Structure 1
Amino acid sequence: MTGELTARMRTLEEVQATLEIAKLKEEDLQNTIHCLSFGDNVSSADYCLMELDDTLSRHIEAGQSLVIRGDKEERAVLCSGDLTYDLKIADTSNVLLLVPGGRTPDQLTQSQEGSHVVHTPIWGFCSSYWELRRTRPKLKKLKRLLMENPYEGPALGGQEENTEDRHTMMDLLDKIQASEEELQAHLQTMHACQIDGFWRILDFDYEMKLVGHVAQLVDSESWSFNKVPLQTSLEELSPLEPKEMIKHCLDCYGKCYTENDQVFYALDEDKVCRATALLLLHNAVKFNLREFQEVWQQSVPEGMSTRLSQLKSVALVDRSARPETICLLQVEDLPEDTLERFNHLFALREKWTEEDITPYIESVSPFKPYHKLDLCGEKQTTGALLTKHARSSMQNGIKVFNSRRPVAT
């Protein structure tokens, strides 16, 4: 196949003469010869090209849509129903021509004998295109928006609830740079719920109050925490809190199942223990580790066992302190940007063991299977990130990592 850029329609004889001057054999080429010409009012600003991977191509071919999201101060991202992509302009040294109805050689019918000319109009041209790269959704803004008006429980004493700063799903999709599936999953991770059509995050103290009510009921009734009856729980606790909130708490901290037509919840030991630890650590700058572990174990329902592994990505143990201490450090409160995240971590602590730093750069928490706050991409590993942003050394026989660059404190 040959192509020419011309201001007028060329004949087959003129094309053949051009091939002869170029010393090209006509029989070595496709039979169909495209004679390209610019249409009226063609401009490079009229069109923008985007390079799609196989996943997005199938998404478009199935009739689905893509959405560009981002406020004016944010870098735009492209979202499908379940994935988020960074948008980046890539320049090309070759001018890209937009030819409507253009066909590749395998799409052409070669039954016609001999060469023939097809006159093809050009509708536009570009010297750059949008390049897409899978990225983590930008979810940190979600918590900030929902925390503007957290749900603190039903209004008391005739007080009217604050109706400002409440958001529907459409509001959140307009403001959060994430696909709808990623947004829904993170709302679930945050224990958010819909109240009167608006998505609300529970106030920390109120959520812990609900967990406390459930735990106390389990203890007082001597139930197994693996078999908590839904209906009885709602009846016993409804004088204290709305039934919808009790069920929401059970959904967040347990798994529903049915036995003999009766609905039960198996409370998740790790989730309940972690929530109890967060309550203990919430108002303490640092806690003596040994004392904390004793109080923590005494505070959970009977039969549950507390373990420090339950606190990965939410609390940090300092083994070098005397006595050893523990403090609150939640991954969701750290910067989303990779460099900023490492700078923040090394500002908190000069040297990190791999065991301590891993939960804050790679999601290892068993409570967040759809967690999107980690830094590791699809093909990245913790080791690769540490090699790029940290320097390793040995300290008392243990490998530790410190920053490769000066850190402002």
Structure 2
Amino acid sequence: MDIKLPQSECSGGAEAVLSLQPNSSISVAYHSLFGPHDDLMLLELDEKLLPEVLHQRVTLRGQPDEDAVLCTDTKTYAVKFVGTSNSVFLIPPSDNDTQVSNNKDDGTMKVASVFKIAPGCMELVEVAPKLDKLKWLLSQNPYSFRETSEMDISEERDKTNIGLYRWDDLVDRLQASDEELRSGLKSLSALEIEGYWRILDDEYINSILSMLSNDIILNDWSIDALNEDEVVNVLETDGFPRNIAKHCLQVYSSKVEEGVSGKCMWKLDERRVCVQLAREILKEGKMKVEIFMDKWIRKVPDGMHASFEMLEGEALIEKLGMETWLYSFSVSSLPSTPAERFSLLFKERAKWEWKDLQPYVRDLRVPGLSSEGLLLKYTRRTQPTMEAEPVFSAR
């Protein structure tokens, strides 16, 4: 390509460059509207993303104080600027390429008019969604007994819109694709109430589980075959809104095969119920394991069996002399960003055995980086002998 940059009124377009044959040349001139044009940026795309962009199935998300991310329906991409030392010319298309005479060659040559010289381009890098903010937003105003109480005064009702978020509000505030946001809401057991996405207050959850346990005994129901309509009707009679009663049944149960006459049947999930009841006890603070187990077993519904293995990622054990103590340390309270997660873990303990560490890191997801890669990046592994349990400390 014969690169020349005289000031010119030529309006040759990008077609002249696209049709350029090998070993041929073209003159390049400044467009009459040449300038910095800071509102124009180049974006480099992987071919698999091209249809998403061309069909306008992508959005840019992020608050003014955050770095922007680009989201498809299912994934999130960080937008990074990459500078280049080469000159990248932006040449706009034109309906009529201008041809000028070249006296030396006694021929004609097309001229491409440069509109802007780009200093670099934007690149997309797939990243994990930033969903830590979701729990904080929904925790501002969890659904509680106050909202279902008939004694709720009008002034209190006016306050219920504070800290409430509709779907569009969450999309606007969170750097995550729609599918990732839905997954985040599901992981928090959130539900939509009167158009707002809510989580239930712990006291409310514990109360409805306690009532369900009593109803199971009173109605002689099997915890392995709960009829959805029957359970929801009884809980509604007990004072719980129908949609919330149905939601809790689905969260703390697993669906089994349809019963006779198309009835929807559920099996109470032993682990989910037992862990929720354990969390309530752990709020009391650090206690001896024996005392905790005694309280826990007494709370668990008949037909269920609480086991210590259920507390992986929920609590930690501490040896104090001859005694063993237990205290709450839930993975759900930790940040999802690997650097922040490992920082907090090593503040809690300087050294971790793998059996203790694994429940607190297995949910970490970083596109392009395996679990082993995460450990190599953020931890230092020591193993005195081949038979010994590996120990991890901060790198």
User: TM-score under structure 1 normalisation?
Assistant: 0.80
Structure 1 residues 17-36: aligned runs within 5 Å: 30=22, 33-36=25-28
Per the TM alignment, residue 253 of structure 1 is displaced from its structure 2 partner at its CA by: 1.6
Q: CA separation in 2, counterparts of 1:310 and 1:100?
A: 63
Map Cα deviations across residues 23-77 of structure 1 (whole Å, 9 max, x no partner).
Answer: xxxxxx627644333322223323111222233223223x133222222332222
Letter in 2 for 1:253: Y
Secondary structure, counterpart of 2:165 in structure 1: coil
Distance in structure 2 (CA, Å) of the matches to 1:34 and 1:254: 70
Q: Distance in 2 between matches of 1:60 and 1:279?
A: 47
CA change 1:9–1:39 in 2 (3 A) is: closer
2:326 alignment partner in structure 1: 326
d(CA) in 2 for partners of 1:331 and 1:56? 34
Counterpart of 2:16?
A: none
Q: Which one of the candidate residues 370, 377, 388 is aligned to 1:381?
A: 370
Matched, 1:289 2:289: yes
Matched, 1:392 2:391: no
Change (3 A) 1:221 1:3: farther
Amino acid in the other structure paired with 1:263: C
Question: Using the alignment, how far apart are the partners of 1:320 and 1:84 within structure 2?
Answer: 45
One-letter code aligned to 2:232 = L
Structure 1 residues 273-313: Cα deviation after superposition (integer angstroms, max 9, x where no partner): 221221221x2322322443343334222332333333333
Which stretch has the larger CA shift, 201-210 or 150-159? 150-159
Q: Would you say 1:264 and 2:253 are equivalent positions?
A: no
How many angstroms does 1:394 deviate by? 4.2
- TM-superposed CA distance for 1:247, in Å, is 0.3
Alignment partner, residue 238 of structure 1: 236
| CA separation of 1:156 and 1:48: change in aligned 2, threshold 3 A | same
Partner of 2:276: 275
3-state DSSP of counterpart to 1:36? strand
Give the Cα–Cα distance (whole angstroms) in 2 for the partners of residues 302 and 399 of structure 1.
39
Note if contact 1:67-1:80 (Cα within 8 Å) is conserved in structure 2: yes
- CA gap of 1:315–1:101, structure 2 versus 1, over 3 A, is farther
Q: Is the Cα contact below 8 Å between 1:69 and 1:177 reproduced in 2?
A: yes
**Correspondence for 2:34:** 42
Amino acid paired to 2:252: Y
Q: Once the 2 structures are TM-superposed, how far is the Cα of residue 353 of structure 1 from its aligned partner?
A: 0.8
Distance 1:5 1:208 in 2: 76
Q: Provide the aligned C-alpha RMSD in A.
A: 2.7
How far 1:252 sits from its partner (Å)? 1.3
- Look up the match of 1:156: 150
Identify the match of residue 78 of structure 2 among 78, 82, 86.
86
For 2:290 and 2:117, the matched residues in 1 are separated by 69
Q: 1:4-403 to 2 correspondence within 5 Å?
A: 4-7=3-6, 30=22, 33-44=25-36, 45-61=38-54, 63-101=55-93, 117-153=109-145, 154-160=148-154, 161=157, 162-240=160-238, 241-256=240-255, 257-260=257-260, 261-281=262-282, 283-318=283-318, 322-363=322-363, 374=364, 376-394=365-383, 397-403=388-394
Seq. identity, %: 28
Q: CA deviation at 1:224?
A: 2.4
Report the TM-score when normalising by structure 2. 0.82
Unaligned runs of 5+ in 1: 11-28, 103-114, 364-373, 405-409
| Residue identity matched to 1:398 | E
**Residues 318, 53 of structure 1: alpha-carbon distance in 2 compared, 3 angstrom cutoff:** farther
**8 A contact 1:67–1:78 mirrored in 2:** yes
**CA distance 1:273–1:395, shift in 2 (3 Å):** farther
Amino acid at match of 2:371: T
- 2:50 & 2:27 partners in 1: Cα distance? 29
* Kept after mapping to 1: 8 A contact 2:34/2:115: yes
Deviation at 1:395, TM superposition (A): 7.1
Note the C-alpha offset of 1:341: 2.1
Contact 1:32–1:118 (8 Å) recurs in 2: no
Deviation string, structure 1 residues 205-226 (Cα, Å, up to 9, x no partner): 1122122222332233332222
Name structure 2 gaps, 5 residues minimum: 11-20, 95-106
Secondary structure of the corresponding residue to residue 96 of structure 1: strand
